[in-house]
Amino acid sequence: MELRSNEPTGPIEARWDKHRFDMKLVNPANRRKYQVIVVGTGLAGGAAAAALGEQGYHVKAFCYQDSPRRAHSIAAQGGINAAKNYQNDGDSVFRLFYDTVKGGDFRARESNVYRLAQVSVNIIDQCVAQGVPFAREYSGLLANRSFGGAQVSRTFYARGQTGQQLLLGAYQALERQIDAGTVKMFPRTEMLDLIVVDGVARGIVTRDMVTGKVQAHVADVVLLATGGYGNVFFLSTNAKGCNVTASWRAHRRGAFFANPCYTQIHPTCIPVSGAFQSKLTLMSESLRNDGRVWVPKRQEDCGKDPAQIPESERDYYLERIYPSFGNLVPRDIASRRAKNMCDQGMGVGPVVDGARRGVYLDFRDAIQRLGHKAVSERYGNLFDMYERITGESPYTHPMRIYPASHYTMGGLWVDYNLMSTIPGLFVGGEANFSDHGANRLGASALMQGLADGYFVLPYTVGNYLAQVKPGAVAEDHPEVKRVVAEVEERVSRLLSIGGTRSPDSFHRELGQLIWDKCGMSRTAEGLTEALQKIPELREQFWSDLRVTGGGEELNQTLEKAGRVADFFELAELLCRDALTREESCGGHFREEFATEEGEAKRDDEHFQHVAAWQWSGDPSKPNLHQEALSFEYVKPSARSYK
Amino acid sequence: MQKALTLADSTVGKKALLAVSGLVLFGFVLGHMVGNLQVFLGPEVFNGYAATLKGNLPLLWGTRIVLSVSVVTHIVMAVQLMGRSSKARPVGYRKKDNAVTSYAAITMKLSGPLLFFYIAFHIAHFTAPGLALGNYEHSTTDVYANFVSAFTIPWVTALYVIAQLLLGLHLYHGAWSLFQTLGLSHPRYDGKKRLVAQVFALLIMAGNVAMPIAVLVGVIPPAG
Amino acid sequence: MSTINLTLHVWRQSGPNDPGGFKDYQAKGISTHASFLEMLDVVNEELAARGEEPIAFDHDCREGICGMCGMVVNGRPHGPQVETTTCQLHMRQFKDGDEVWIEPWRARSFPVIKDLVVDRSAFDRIIAAGGYISARTGSPRDANEIPIPKEASDLAFEAAACIGCGACVAACPNASAALFTAAKLAHLSLLPQGEPEQQDRVRKMVSQMDAEGFGHCTNHFECMAACPKGISVDYIAKMNRDFLKAMITARTDLPKREKQ
């Protein structure tokens, strides 16, 4: 099967406008005849459901949380990029496009990225109109900051809660449509399968998480905005409930999964403090603006009180290795260097599982230079949060940080219209693979989620619907019944294994394996080992799992079991993709493909493509398809931060 | 046709009516105390004051009507809201640890009904024919004598003093909380609200307690 | 690393129609670095190992922002630490040998689904009643065309920081949702964009809040003390003021809202 990106042609600045004009429209009077399903109510899903409802379609929206306001977009701290150039510092749509393509290590589709940069300015307008309280200057105009090492100040923010404020904006727009009757909301409802009839997506099968009822919902189009798969590592900065099930079920029904090996590890998270650890908390990247990263020079000092380690015995390794960028090197580099230091035995903090995994992020010099008050104004909230979690004050003790899984650039393959390889199945936000390439820049996730939700999907979905007849499949269609029966069967299978281990214990073991072998740095040897162990562990899962309680009630163990089962299959694909991609780029670092200084070495000749995997029926034997990438506007170059 | 939303439909409206009627009663309590403090000036002044009040029929009945409406509103709103509140939490906590609320606030629903009974008693006590507590005849003209005779009985004085403490508590919470309920708040002045309420409540309590005690200890003598 | 042992008294209720009751559990060898929910995870793993049903509780982000978690811990919503959600509460706040009472949010409008899980959809309906600015997607004017004084914007932000967890209702002696409703109203009405719909919004949201069966506000301010984001009761005064003003001055009536 040939992967067609369906990009418009012509000058890149005009492509989206041209495409918008070329797309077909649905007569407003006919819109209410179409049923649209939106799964996930984060920035992409919430915004898309609200916008499509507003256009007059019949929308059903689903989320596993108890309210659409709780999707994990809410936890994004830093900000949202937009090429407004309000600061007059030379920003432009083209520059944002350029930075994003380059930041993604030349593994994204240029047309998509350009469109993202273009609509970024509309997002800010839209959000302000909705009442999102972005930070402002005393003039009453919007404030910006530079984020994640960008050379321009293009990041809009609302203290450290930008994601929350943007999500609440989308949530409120969604609630407005719910009250207007255009959107019907199904909270505490989980999508467990996709209904495909004659090759076209026609609906989903869900489980009501309160009553346990398994039910089909048919529609004329299905949108997935179900987020990333970072929780495959068990420990990540994702919410506990984040899962890959919706995407994975769609994958098993024919949607290609693209570039799963592009996972982003965030360098500034609070380290693991014990075996009980359930998730990792991110501390905003902005801390690296003033904090200095170091480890002791001598291994004997690693267990010491840092205050006892003299200046001469500290290794400020980022400043040493990258004199020009210092502590502000990109996320992947900062993460990998921290791992290297700890692998060499220079980690600090408590010994967990036989190793100290943490490096210091020290504000001593910043406090001396700027004063306690200035530091507290900048980072007070973060310092308080750190102290709440660790019991140590960053004013007196250096913070301890360690990288953690944070975001996944890979996801379901989509064309320029954000439609997957299954006609009628669209994918938005983190769940698709499209815009970030191999690495996502800071403050770009929120931008992409809202771009997809407010400004892309409402047009492209309309274009698709204009070409299909509404209500083609009824709820009593044999295929619909078959998928419902399959889901019910799977649920009862999970309940009836009758083994000894909980889903969490399997998830922890899987996560540890993936983190070790397919985390911040990967080798052919490690990946091969993981590919051998995952099926074994999966087998154990299906024979030794114990799910307490029944299926017809709120059963959190059952929910977890289903999600872990899908993580097992994804994990294998993740490692396989990482093994197949014999280069290092962005979030994917293969130790064999590095320069002598240990920096990532891309192989544009062989790997300048999207790897899109097709389900074959056997999780160990997926079929690989490639979409070649071409770069007309931003010429590939090596990233250097020395 | 759906019913239109009215002020008295909503909890915020009911609470505002409770606050406004409370404000009227607050004003009355203040006037009542200031008037009664004239008892310290001797029988002529005090009886003269009483005669003036009684002689001015429009004022007397105007006040009575406004007060009755306020009392009824205050009670009806309070009862309705309390009913709503108990329905709002059908299953309570096994363990509840309040963090910041005041004793006065928690006891509002207790001090309210107790004050109601006290006021009923107080009216019965001092209006014709008067409860014959102790050894005296109720007089419709010599209010001073009624006053002094009543409070020479220690348990009556004690009852009034206790009632004044309750009134003080009730007024304290009511006084500062009505600003909040009616939306009269401003960060520049909010910090002073509690202080103002405390001063008012204490003043009224002190003034009202001073009179019966003064009778009991002989500072206010029987009319010569 | 120091560890502690605790005795837990946990509310267990198998479903909405089960009367429910407390059950006692021993939490042994809990690291003081663990969060409260991680402590419950440990207890749940032990329950699962014995084949017993784990304690059901809502949680998601575990970083204090999604608003999904919440339980009354020793009489305080979200536990003893101020401005801290249950997921951010850490076990170093407890001593070895402590007894810990764990109960769900209690309110008629938040019916228990199971154990510590309650249904807070009433909050969504209050927002749906009017907690938004009707801005059509896709055609707004430039964001900087409306300058907004920094002070108003900051105040709006502080109100908008609400995470919708319901601790305010749980803490209130009257199970009132005044702080939740007032925070959203203030967020929107402090901004010029929110001005045109102000009078309708306040009437609709207050009417919905009442229709959901929450109690009224009697100014105990327990809500503010329990709020993990420290949202101020000043916003309740503002809601009261705006509502009374709208009821007195609005030119047209609005229908009374019903529970859906």
User: DSSP letters of A533-572?
Assistant: HHHHHHHHHHHHB---S-SSS--HHHHHHHHHHHHHHHHH
pLDDT interval class at B85 (50, 70, 90): very high
Q: pLDDT (tens digit, 9 = 90+) per residue, A400-423? A: 999 999 999 999 999 999 999 999
pLDDT interval class at B224 (50, 70, 90): low
Q: pLDDT (tens digit, 9 = 90+) per residue, A479-526? A: 999 999 999 999 999 999 999 999 999 999 999 999 999 999 999 999
Domain residues for the domain of C241 are 121-249
pLDDT of residue A559: 98
Closest CA relative to residue A81, chosen from A98, A57, A67, A58: A98
Q: Scanning every residue of chain C, which has its alpha carbon at the shortest distance from the alpha carbon of B104?
A: C220
Q: Between C260 and C69, whose confidence is greater?
A: C69
DSSP for A18-54, written as a single string: HHHHHS----HHHHTT-EEEEE--SHHHHHHHHHHHH
In B, which residues are within 8 Å of C103 by CB distance? Answer: 93-95
The CB density around residue A105, as the number of other CB atoms within 10 Å, is 26
Structure tokens at A408: 């996944």
The pLDDT of A163-184, averaged and rounded, is 98
> What single DSSP character describes residue A397?
S
Q: Please answer whether residues A412 and A431 qualify as being in contact, where contact means their C-beta atoms are separated by less than 8 angstroms.
A: yes
Asked if the structure places residue C254 within a domain, the reply is no
Whether complex ipTM tops 0.95? yes
CB contact under 8 A, B94 and C242: no
- C201 close to B (CB below 8 A): no
Asked if the structure places residue C260 within a domain, the reply is no
Q: Which of A25, A54, A172 to mutate to test the interface with C (most CBs of C within 10 A)?
A: A172
The pLDDT of A159-168, averaged and rounded, is 95
Asked if the structure places residue A70 within a domain, the reply is no
Structure tokens at C114: 């199971």
Question: What burial letters (b/e) apply to C101-130, b meaning 16+ CB within 10 Å?
Answer: bbbbbbbbbbbbbbbbbbbbbbbbbbbbbb
Question: What burial letters (b/e) apply to A456-483, b meaning 16+ CB within 10 Å?
Answer: bbbbbbbbbbeeeebeebeeebeebeeb
Closest CA relative to residue C206, chosen from C231, C186, C178: C178
In C, which residues are within 8 Å of B175 by CB distance? Answer: none
CB contact under 8 A, A278 and C31: no
Least CB–CB distance from C215: residue in B88, B95, B96: B88
CB contact under 8 A, C137 and A350: no
Least CB–CB distance from A158: residue in C30, C144, C157: C157
CATH code, domain with C202: 1.10.1060.10
- A68 close to C (CB below 8 A): yes
Do A395 and A483 belong to one domain?
no
Number of domains comprising chain C: 2
**Which of the listed residues C64, C83, C114 is the one where a domain comes to its end?**
C114
In A, which residues are within 8 Å of C150 by CB distance? Answer: 136-138, 140
pLDDT interval class at B75 (50, 70, 90): very high
Task: Enumerate neighbours of C (3 or more CB pairs within 8 A).
Answer: A, B
In C, which residues are within 8 Å of A164 by CB distance? Answer: 65, 161, 163
CATH code, domain with A566: 1.20.58.100
pLDDT interval class at A353 (50, 70, 90): confident
Asked if the structure places residue A197 within a domain, the reply is no
Question: What burial letters (b/e) apply to A180-202, b meaning 16+ CB within 10 Å?
Answer: eebbebbbbbbbbbbbbbeebbb
pLDDT of residue A599: 86
Q: pLDDT (tens digit, 9 = 90+) per residue, C223-237? A: 999 999 999 999 999
The pLDDT of A246-256, averaged and rounded, is 98
Structure tokens at A441: 């820049």
Asked if the structure places residue B95 within a domain, the reply is no
**Are there at least 3 beta-carbon pairs closer than 8 Å between A and C?**
yes
Asked if the structure places residue C256 within a domain, the reply is no
Give the DSSP H/E element, type plus range, for residue A404. Answer: strand A399-408
Closest CA relative to residue A242, chosen from A487, A509, A564: A564
pLDDT interval class at C16 (50, 70, 90): very high
**Cα distances (angstroms) measured from residue A309 to each of A106, A270, A300, A502:** 42, 22, 11, 44
Q: Which residues contact A391 (CB under 8 A, 6 or more apart)?
A: C32, C33, C90, C92
Q: pLDDT (tens digit, 9 = 90+) per residue, A420-457? A: 999 999 999 999 998 999 999 989 999 999 999 999 99
CB contact under 8 A, C143 and A124: yes
CB contact under 8 A, B89 and C22: no
Asked if the structure places residue C30 within a domain, the reply is yes
CB contact under 8 A, A66 and C58: yes
Q: pLDDT (tens digit, 9 = 90+) per residue, A299-343? A: 999 999 999 999 999 999 999 999 988 998 888 889 999 999 999
Asked if the structure places residue A123 within a domain, the reply is no
Do C126 and C110 belong to one domain?
no
Q: Which of C94, C105, C113, C132 to mutate to test the interface with A (most CBs of A within 10 A)?
A: C132
3-class secondary-structure state, position A375? helix
**Four-residue CA torsion sign, A328, A330, A333, A335:** positive
3-class secondary-structure state, position A583? coil
Asked if the structure places residue C255 within a domain, the reply is no
Closest CA relative to residue A574, chosen from A628, A616, A613: A613
Task: Enumerate neighbours of B (3 or more CB pairs within 8 A).
Answer: C
Q: Which residues contact A482 (CB under 8 A, 6 or more apart)?
A: none
Q: In what order do the strands lie in the sheet with A263-269?
A: A263-269, A399-408, A359-362, A292-296, A314-315
Domain residues for the domain of A325 are 267-404
Task: Supply the mean pLDDT for chain C.
Answer: 96
- C133 close to B (CB below 8 A): no
CB contact under 8 A, C67 and A70: yes
Do C67 and C140 belong to one domain?
no
Kindly tell me the burial class for residue A423, based on how many C-beta atoms sit within 10 Å of its own C-beta (0-12, 13-18, 19 or more).
middle
**Four-residue CA torsion sign, B20, B25, B30, B34:** positive
Q: Scanning every residue of chain C, which has its alpha carbon at the shortest distance from the alpha carbon of A271?
A: C33
pLDDT at B1 over 60: no
Closest CA relative to residue A255, chosen from A107, A409, A3, A425: A425
> What are the beta bridge partners of residue A294?
A360
The pLDDT of C87-102, averaged and rounded, is 97
User: How large a percentage of chain A has pLDDT more than 70?
Assistant: 100
> What single DSSP character describes residue A581?
-
Q: Which residues contact C101 (CB under 8 A, 6 or more apart)?
A: B94, B95, C9, C22, C72, C73, C74, C75
Report whether the peptide linkage leading into residue B129 is cis, meaning its omega lies within 30 degrees of zero.
yes
Do A400 and A275 belong to one domain?
yes
Number of domains comprising chain A: 2
3-class secondary-structure state, position A630? coil
Residue C112 CA to residue A210 CA, distance in Å, equals 11
Asked if the structure places residue C228 within a domain, the reply is yes
CB contact under 8 A, B5 and C234: no
Q: pLDDT (tens digit, 9 = 90+) per residue, B6-18? A: 998 899 999 999 9
* Nearest CA-CA distance, residue C79 and chain A, Å: 13
3-class secondary-structure state, position A360? strand
Q: pLDDT (tens digit, 9 = 90+) per residue, A17-74? A: 999 999 999 999 999 999 999 999 999 999 999 999 999 999 999 999 999 999 999 9
Asked if the structure places residue A291 within a domain, the reply is yes
pLDDT at A642 over 90: no
Do A285 and A384 belong to one domain?
yes
Closest CA relative to residue B153, chosen from B215, B211, B206, B207: B215
Q: pLDDT (tens digit, 9 = 90+) per residue, A195-228? A: 999 999 999 999 999 999 999 999 999 999 999 9
Task: Supply the mean pLDDT for chain A.
Answer: 95
3-state secondary structure chain C: CCEEEEEEEEEECCCCCCCCEEEEEEEEEEECCCEHHHHHHHHHHHHHHCCCCCCCCCCCCCCCCCCCCCCEECCEECCCCCCCCHHHCEHHHCCCCCEEEEECCCCCCCCEEECCEECCHHHHHHHHHHCCCCCCCCCCCCHHHCCCCHHHHHHHHHHHCCCCCCHHHHHCCCCECHHHHHHHHHHHHCCHHHHHHHHHHHHHHHHHHHHCCCECCCCCCHHHHHCCCCCCCHHHHHHHHHHHHHHHHCCCCCECCCCC
Inter-axis angle of helices B108-126 and B154-181, nearest 10: 130
pLDDT at B131 over 80: no
pLDDT of residue B183: 95
pLDDT of residue A555: 97
Q: Which of C137, C148, C191, C231 to mutate to test the interface with A (most CBs of A within 10 A)?
A: C137
Residue A217 CA to residue A204 CA, distance in Å, equals 5
Phi, psi of C255 (to 5 degrees): -70, 145
Give the DSSP H/E element, type plus range, for residue B114. Answer: helix B108-126
Structure tokens at A530: 């993981």
Q: 3-state DSSP: chain A helix, strand, coil percent, rounded to 5?
A: 40, 15, 40
Phi, psi of A522 (to 5 degrees): -130, 150
Length of chain A: 642
In B, which residues are within 8 Å of C209 by CB distance? Answer: 11
Do C98 and C21 belong to one domain?
yes
**Cα distances (angstroms) measured from residue A285 to each of A282, A369, A400, A491:** 8, 20, 14, 41
Asked if the structure places residue A296 within a domain, the reply is yes
pLDDT at A641 over 80: no
pLDDT interval class at C1 (50, 70, 90): low
Among all chains, which residue has been given the structure tokens 């009755």?
Answer: B68
The CB density around residue C13, as the number of other CB atoms within 10 Å, is 19
Residue B66 CA to residue B69 CA, distance in Å, equals 5
pLDDT at B207 over 90: yes
> What single DSSP character describes residue B10?
S
Number of domains comprising chain B: 1
Chain B, chain C: beta-carbon pairs less than 8 Å apart: 165
Do C129 and C228 belong to one domain?
yes
Asked if the structure places residue A502 within a domain, the reply is yes
In C, which residues are within 8 Å of B19 by CB distance? Answer: none
In B, which residues are within 8 Å of C173 by CB distance? Answer: 85, 98, 101, 106
CB contact under 8 A, A129 and C140: yes
User: How large a percentage of chain C has pLDDT more than 90?
Assistant: 96
pLDDT interval class at A161 (50, 70, 90): very high
Task: Supply the mean pLDDT for chain B.
Answer: 92
Domain residues for the domain of B129 are 8-88+103-217
pLDDT interval class at A150 (50, 70, 90): confident
Least CB–CB distance from C54: residue in A126, A168, A548: A548
Q: Which residues contact B1 (CB under 8 A, 6 or more apart)?
A: none
Asked if the structure places residue C177 within a domain, the reply is yes
Asked if the structure places residue C258 within a domain, the reply is no
Kindly tell me the burial class for residue A4, based on how many C-beta atoms sit within 10 Å of its own C-beta (0-12, 13-18, 19 or more).
exposed
CB contact under 8 A, B181 and C176: no
Residue A300 CA to residue B223 CA, distance in Å, equals 95
- Angle value at C-alpha A631, between A627 and A637, nearest 5 degrees: 115
Q: pLDDT (tens digit, 9 = 90+) per residue, C188-246? A: 999 999 999 999 999 999 999 999 999 999 999 999 999 999 999 999 999 999 999 99
Residue A225 CA to residue A427 CA, distance in Å, equals 6
Q: Between B124 and A239, whose confidence is greater?
A: A239
Do C174 and C159 belong to one domain?
yes
**Four-residue CA torsion sign, A225, A230, A232, A234:** negative
**Which of the listed residues C98, C114, C130 is the one where a domain comes to its end?**
C114
User: How large a percentage of chain A has pLDDT more than 90?
Assistant: 92
Asked if the structure places residue B93 within a domain, the reply is no
**Are there at least 3 beta-carbon pairs closer than 8 Å between B and A?**
no
**Which of the listed residues C63, C97, C114 is the one where a domain comes to its end?**
C114
Q: pLDDT (tens digit, 9 = 90+) per residue, C140-161? A: 889 999 999 999 999 999 999 9
CB contact under 8 A, A178 and C136: no
Residue B150 CA to residue B131 CA, distance in Å, equals 10
Helices (H), A277-390: 317-321, 331-343, 364-370, 372-390
Interface of C with B in 1-40 (CB under 8 A): 9, 11, 22
